[in-house]
Structure formats: structure tokens, C-alpha cells
Structure 1
Amino acid sequence: MGEIRHILSLSGGKDSAALAIYLRDRIPDMEYVFHDTGKELPETYEYLGRLEAILGKSIHKSTVENGDFIGFDQLLKVYGGMLPSNHRRWCTRMMKLKPFERFIGSDKCYNYVGLRADEDRTGYISHKPNIIPVYPFREDGLVKADIINILEESSLGMPPYTDWGRTRSGCFFCFYQQKIEWVRLKETHPNLFEEAKAYEKPGKNATTTFYWCGDESLEELEKPERIERIKNDYEISKARKKANSSNKSLMNILGGTDDYESNEGCLICQL
């Protein structure tokens, strides 16, 4: 076994991007890896391209096995058309964790994770004994305001998908999205919404249809009266949070980012 490797996984989210910039000059031999599912938002690819320029290093794309790209469409066939959900997160396991562990192999490495000092989240990154997690933001006491400051000072800024209300990185059809985010996806990227909707069909060995939003199909969700209700419910929820959250920052309240800061979701997809 050779020297210890230093590896930072990028999700396309603000925290891992800020961590990469934060550690750029501290750990010059850092390796950067992105687990490309082939179903990321176009803004994510653009953001990572800009980050590469700031880092001065290429970001390794890990979802390749024996020379073949193994992304969502290929794996969906293996799972008989069964869409992933919070109860069956094969997407995280097969498109994030396995490629990550394959990239590292048996090498001993430090895996740098962007969990902040102001959040109480835990999650499975890897249980392999040769992979040692490191949490620089927590160790140095950095909170959300510090992360935003790092991004702004570097000129990278926040991920561009936040401009239209998306609160998390990950596939454009991520099942952890809020209903309002599905509406915004339809309004901003109607072609991607249609692609997500096309996946909602009975699996090869299934008698029921798998939906991204639990028991509500995207065909139902996109009806004008349903969209109007989702928008109204979102505004009511936002107003309620604003009234009951005097200790929370204006950015969290108005930006609708409270769910992003919750314990739900996959760390390796979102940080």
C-alpha cells in the first residue's frame, strides 16, 4: 500500500464546493471526484466546470466501470424499472457509494466531508476501514455564513440552480425534492420534467406504477389547479415558518432552505 490519498467527493452542492476551495492550498495533492449519474441538472455540470478552473485541477468522474458508463438508465434496467425512493435508495448505493469505493480501492485515504459546525447531520459515507472521514468545517467551527463567504470570495458563488429555487444537488428527479421544487423544475426545465415523468410506468416485474412523489404522479402534479395549490401551500408554509422562526436567518426563511438543512437526504449526493 502506497502513501495515504486525500480525496474530496463533490456533489455539485455548496458545502463540498466550498470545502474544496477551503482546502485547495492546504492540501495540494487533493483528488476531487464527482459521481456522475448522467441525470444531473445542467447547472450542476456548469458549476463543477467553473470549480475546476478555480481549483486548477480536473475533477474525476467516477461512474465508469471497465470502460463503460454505468448511470441511472443502465441500472434502472437491472432493477426492473423500480424507481428509487427514500425506502429503496439503490441510486445512492449503486451510483454514489460503490463508484466512490471502487475509485479508492484498497488504498488508505482521508475522505474530506463538508459537514458544517452548525448542523447536526450524520450519514453513511463508507464503512470501509481504509477510508477515514475528516470534517474540516466542524473541526474549524465553520458555519453556513462562512461557507457562503468562501464561495463569494472565490467568485464561484452559490450553485446556479438555487436561483430558481432548487435547494439541493443531485439528480433532477431526486425523490427528496419538495413539491414546489417539482413545479419549479417544470417551469425552468420542462424537458427534464417530461423526462422524469416518462420514467413513471410499471416496472418489468411490477403490478403497480412507481412514482417519484410517493402516490402522486407527475402527470397529476402538473395539472394547473394542482400547481396553483402547491404554490399556495408553499407560500402559507413559508409565512408560517417566518412567523415561528425568529432565530433563523432571513436567507433560510425566504430562500425556503429549511428542508435542505434537515436530516433527510443522502449526504454523498447533497453536500
Structure 2
Amino acid sequence: MSEAIRHVLSLSGGKDSAALAVYMRDEVPEMEYIFHDTDKELPETYEYLHRLEAILGKPITKTTSERSFDNWLKIYGNMIPSNHRRWCTRMLKLKPFERYIGEDDVLNYIGLRADEDRTGYISHKKNITPIYPFQRDGLVLADIHRILEESGLGFPKYTEWGRTRSGCFFCFYQQKIEWVRLKEHYPELFEEAKAYETPNSINGNTFYWNGNESLSELEQPERMAQILNNWEVSRARARKNLPNQKLVQILGYAEPEEEPQGCLICQL
């Protein structure tokens, strides 16, 4: 163990961790900002981090896994990750984070808000202590919006076309409408994600990113039209029930409180 305590804030490329970085900038000048790069991120994620660096006035360190996603996929028998097999988070995010920390004593700042009750992948090493400034200070979603707007950073550009969370472009926590939007805006990434849906080498079964529905099924015109219609109905309902919500809060297929909650280190 080292005598000096390091202050480290992991960035996912999403709004909450970005707002936390801005929020803590003056309180902890010695803060280290890190981003665990899977090489499967959306282009807008890198652009958002670049803009955040300018606001922080400090570089964001990018960590990478010792192996690529495709290499880990082979090790795991071509069984793509899911909410039951979150090896992607463990190997591409958490392990690089712990390797970056080493044995130093660290305060790890996490962007959980005071208005949410979430759990997810965070390190449980004894030398890493999680800190939750938003919960400590009672900051809620409206405060995160205010921080981002007042700083000039704003929201990640992927929210403009319907993506609600950070993480890999093929993240299994995506809603169906987000897969539709991915196909519309990044058809080459959609095809890459679809190519991973093949029989695994353990038992020959084929697993899909989106539960029991393959991307080949989802991309059929009639199915995409159905998903889009369902989304419009859901969005109209959310606007009616929550008239003061910002558009970014109701872009998802489900209402905000119904959205599936992903891994903390990936999507805060």
C-alpha cells in the first residue's frame, strides 16, 4: 500500500460520470480521469470525452484490456455477453481499472445520483473505496442536466438519434428502439453486431444480443415499423404523464423509470 491516497473518477462516456467530473473538478484538483476503452464504442463517445477534456483542462487516461473483445469472445466459447454473462464488463472494464489502480489506496468517485437505487459492477478490492458525491450532496437528475448545460458540455451526441446510454454499440442492455436507431444511423455497426450472433462452441446454441429475438428478425421492415410505432406510443404517454421532462429523458422505448439498468462502470 502507498501512503498517498489517489483520487480516481472513471468515465463511461455517459452523462452522469461526465457531470460528476465537472462537479468535482475544483473540489479535487488532483483527480485522475480514466476511460476504459473497449474499442467497441460509438464515435460520439470519443467526441464527448474529447470535449470533456477541454472543460476539465486535464487529459483523460484511456485504459485497454490485455486482450481484444474478439479474443475474449473466443476464450468464452463464442458465447456473447448478456446480463447473465457480463464477462465484457469484467474483462474490458473492471480488470483494466484494477490493473491501472494497482495496490495504491484509491478513492473511486462514482456518479450514482440521490434519486436512484442501483447496483452494478464496481471493484471490491480492499484498497479501493467508492465515493458517491451526488448521493452525499443530494443531487438528482435535474441537477445533472443543470451541470451539463451550465458547463457548456451538454449531452452526448448519440442522445440526438435515440441512444439513451453509453457503452459498446452492441450492448445487450439496449432497448429495441435503440437497435432500430443503430441500424438507421450506423448500419455497418449493426451488421457487425449481427455477425456475432452465431452458434457458440460450448453447446452449439445461438445467443442473441436482444434476448430471444435475433437482429436478423428485428431488422425486418415490418418488425422495425412495429417497434417504432410502440416507441411513439410510449413516448407520447411519457410526455403526457411527465410534461416537464426534457426530451432526452423520454427518448427511450420505455418510460424513464422502466429502463433496464446496466453496469455502473459502463453506463454511468
TM-score range, shorter chain: over 0.9
Match of 1:30 in 2: 31
Distance change in 2, residues 1:261/1:72 (3 Å): farther
Superposed displacement of residue 28, structure 1: 1.0
CA distance in 1, matches of 2:73, 2:144: 35
Deviates more, 1:205-214 or 1:137-146: 205-214
Provide the secondary structure at the position in 2 that maps to 1:182.
helix
CA distance in 2, matches of 1:63, 1:194: 24
Match of 1:11 in 2: 12
Q: In 1, are the aligned partners of 2:44 and 2:158 still within 8 Å (CA)?
A: yes
Provide the secondary structure at the position in 2 that maps to 1:214.
coil
Match of 1:51 in 2: 52
Q: In 1, are the aligned partners of 2:65 and 2:91 still within 8 Å (CA)?
A: no
Q: Are 1:161 and 2:158 counterparts?
A: yes
Provide the secondary structure at the position in 1 that maps to 2:207.
coil
Show structure 1 runs of 5+ residues with no match: none
Q: In 1, are the aligned partners of 2:173 and 2:260 still within 8 Å (CA)?
A: no
Distance change in 2, residues 1:248/1:130 (3 Å): farther
Provide the secondary structure at the position in 2 that maps to 1:82.
coil
Per-residue deviation, residues 104-141 of structure 1 (Å, max 9, x unmatched) = 11111100000111212233311111111111111111
> What is the CA RMSD across the aligned residues, in angstroms?
1.9
Count the aligned residue pairs. 266
Per-residue deviation, residues 45-104 of structure 1 (Å, max 9, x unmatched) = 111111111112111112143xxxx23112111111110011111111111111111111
CA distance in 1, matches of 2:249, 2:133: 27
CA distance in 2, matches of 1:166, 1:223: 20
CA distance in 1, matches of 2:157, 2:248: 17
Q: Are 1:151 and 2:148 counterparts?
A: yes
> Which amino acid is the alignment partner of residue 136 of structure 1?
P
Show structure 2 runs of 5+ residues with no match: none
Q: Are 1:265 and 2:266 counterparts?
A: no
Residues 59-98 of structure 1 aligned to structure 2 (within 5 Å): 59-65=60-66, 70-98=67-95
Superposed displacement of residue 29, structure 1: 0.8
Q: TM-score, normalised by structure 1?
A: 0.92
Match of 1:109 in 2: 106
Q: In 2, are the aligned partners of 1:121 and 1:262 still within 8 Å (CA)?
A: no
CA distance in 2, matches of 1:261, 1:21: 28
